Structure 1
């Protein structure tokens, strides 16, 4: 499943395109104007370049708030 991560200009014709990320972290887009369909695998310079354009280069993945541990011991109704 691919998720949309942002927009940037097509590297071929400069039309704004939607960039998507797959489950492996590979970024890709498809340009409707010039039919370009490039991709950038994780760990490559191209991936770093696109991430910088999208503003995702240094942003860590959002972390979920830890849920408090259930209370143990004591009376089952009164804690």
Structure 2
């Protein structure tokens, strides 16, 4: 089964069509994804292409804090504990009329 690459928001860019500020995302392979949610115009550029160089030059990148830790050093994700099942089945509207 194929899995999708995780995308991280690296900054903002103006949409080519409607000129609104939209998030610029980059996946783990370096592909830029600039898809506008208002006019639904998708723009993708693979790493190493001329389109990627031109598009990444237009991206206003978010500042990176100096004390940022890499993702591999960050704390591991601990899933929440599962909820306990109910002690008995809840009564519904149709349970009232079955015993009369």
Q: What TM-score do the two structures reach when normalised by structure 1?
A: 0.63
Residue 35 of structure 1 deviates from its aligned partner by: 0.4
* 1:30 and 2:35 correspond: yes
Tell me how far 1:29 sits from its aligned partner.
Answer: 2.0
Specify whether residues 45 and 2 from structure 1 end up closer, same or farther in structure 2 by C-alpha distance, changes over 3 A only: same
Q: Which residue of 1 aligns with 2:57?
A: 52
State the secondary structure of the residue aligned to 1:6.
Answer: strand
Tell me the TM-score normalized by structure 2: 0.51
Q: Which runs of 5+ in 2 are unaligned?
A: 1-5, 62-68, 70-100
Residue segments in structure 1 that go unaligned for 5+ positions in a row: 57-63, 65-79
RMSD of aligned alpha carbons: 1.7
Moved over 3 A (4+): none
Count of matched residue positions in the alignment of Structure 1 and Structure 2: 57
- Structure 1: how far apart are the matches of 2:46 and 2:17? 18
Aligned to 1:40: 45
- Which SS does the other structure have where 2:35 is aligned? coil
The residue that corresponds to 2:7 in the other structure is: 2
